Amino acid sequence: MDNNEKKEEEEGEGSGCTEPGSDWADLTRECLTNILSRLTLEHLWLGPMLVCKSWLQACTDSSLHSSFDVEPHFGTNTDSPRFWTPDFERKIDSMLRSVVVWSDHSLTAIRTRHCSDLALSFAAERCPNLEVLSIKSCQNVTDASMVKIAFRCTKLREVDISYCYEISHESLVLIGRNCPNLKVLKRNLMNWLDPSQHVGVVPNEYLSACPQDGDSEAAAIGKYMPYLEHLEIQFSKLSGKGLTLLCEGCVNLKYLDLSGCANLTGRDIANASSNLKVLEIKKPNLYIPRSVYHADRYGHWRLYDERFQTDVFRI
């Protein structure tokens, strides 16, 4: 081996990038960061971070971490019991905390599931520019961390707390009071009319903890979130009274998803929304399983006609 070859080999070992004939080790930090910015978060974690020390350092550049989005991973995978385990929650928490640190206060969007109060509180303290918060199916996120979010992340314009059963209407009050830019709220619940699709995946004790105070949540939304334009409350247990309070306060609503809201009648919906001129409503459109009401062979249709007054509310 001549001196030039030996020198090249030593330089390759020093950078950690030893692929023969490769010029990747010679890339400037700016050029490498530009390339890495084209990758998804998942590809970043499973690829470049594992190559060598210099690439790992480049992957932590704050310009690559304005958003923490693992939602695509969940979107392409069927919900699994593994997602609801403490071990999986710890992994999500660890990833979120790392990105929060790397972002250096520049994080503007968090889209994840199955994180906990610990990671969310950590994010609240270090992400004053957060605009989007989506934390679906977080069984250990409570009002404790949402209070911190409400007071520290006042630039929020979109919040998704669907399937988070430990978050109460009190958090909605605080978010509404402190986040005047909020335009989108998603507070969907799991299908409690026919929970069979969740059995064996979601812990039974969590399913049984489904929030019952639909009217309290509706009243909080109507009173403290007057600028909402998009609202989803699938399978909420609100009544006609709660819906009226909601619609009276949120006069700027353009879209309202009431899928699965079994306590509402067609007349409730028509009366409550009569003052809203520009509004697309996704109505309950329910099939109520016989197992829920123990109806006879065709009894659920008679119940359906009576409950939803199909002369007013045509499905």
Listed ranges 64-68, 263-267, 278-282, 286-290; the one with the highest mean pLDDT = 263-267
Q: What is the pLDDT of residues 222-272, one digit of tens each?
A: 999 999 999 999 999 999 999 999 999 999 999 999 999 999 999 999 999
Residue with tokens 């909020």: 182
Mean pLDDT, all residues of the chain? 83
Of 57-61, 142-146, 227-231, 250-254, least confident by mean pLDDT is: 57-61
Whole-number Å distance between alpha carbons of 240 and 268: 5
Task: Kindly provide the b/e burial profile for residues 272-305, where b requires at least 16 CB atoms within 10 angstroms of the residue's own CB.
Answer: bbeebeebebebbebebeeeeeebeeeebeeebe
Does the pLDDT of residue 118 top 60, yes or no? Answer: yes
pLDDT value of position 95: 92
**Per-residue pLDDT, 289:** 52
55: how many CB neighbours lie within 10 A of its CB? Answer: 20
Indicate the range of 5-19, 182-196, 230-244, 250-264 predicted with least confidence.
5-19
Nearest to 209 by CA among 117, 140, 299, 306: 140
Label residue 105 exposed, middle or buried (CB < 10 Å: 0-12, 13-18, 19+): exposed
305 vs 266, higher pLDDT: 266
Side chain identity at 48, as an amino acid letter?
P
Q: How confident is the model at residue 49 (pLDDT cuts 50, 70, 90)?
A: confident
- Paired tokens of 238: 């609100």
Order across the sheet with 132-136: list the strands: 67-69, 109-113, 132-136, 158-160, 184-186, 230-232, 255-257, 280-282
Q: How confident is the model at residue 119 (pLDDT cuts 50, 70, 90)?
A: very high
pLDDT at 306: 40
CA distance 221 to 287: 27
Residue 132, classed as helix, strand or coil, is: strand
> Distance (Å, rounded) from C-alpha 225 to C-alpha 246?
9
pLDDT of 24: 62
What's the confidence (pLDDT) of residue 23? 61
The reported pLDDT for the residue numbered 311 is 34
Contact 102, 127 (CB under 8 A): no
How much is the pLDDT for 61? 76
Query: Tens digits of per-residue pLDDT, 69-98?
Result: 998 888 766 678 999 999 999 999 999 999
pLDDT, tens only, 264-274: 999 999 999 99
Tell me the pLDDT tens digit for each residue of 155-175.
Answer: 999 999 999 999 999 999 999
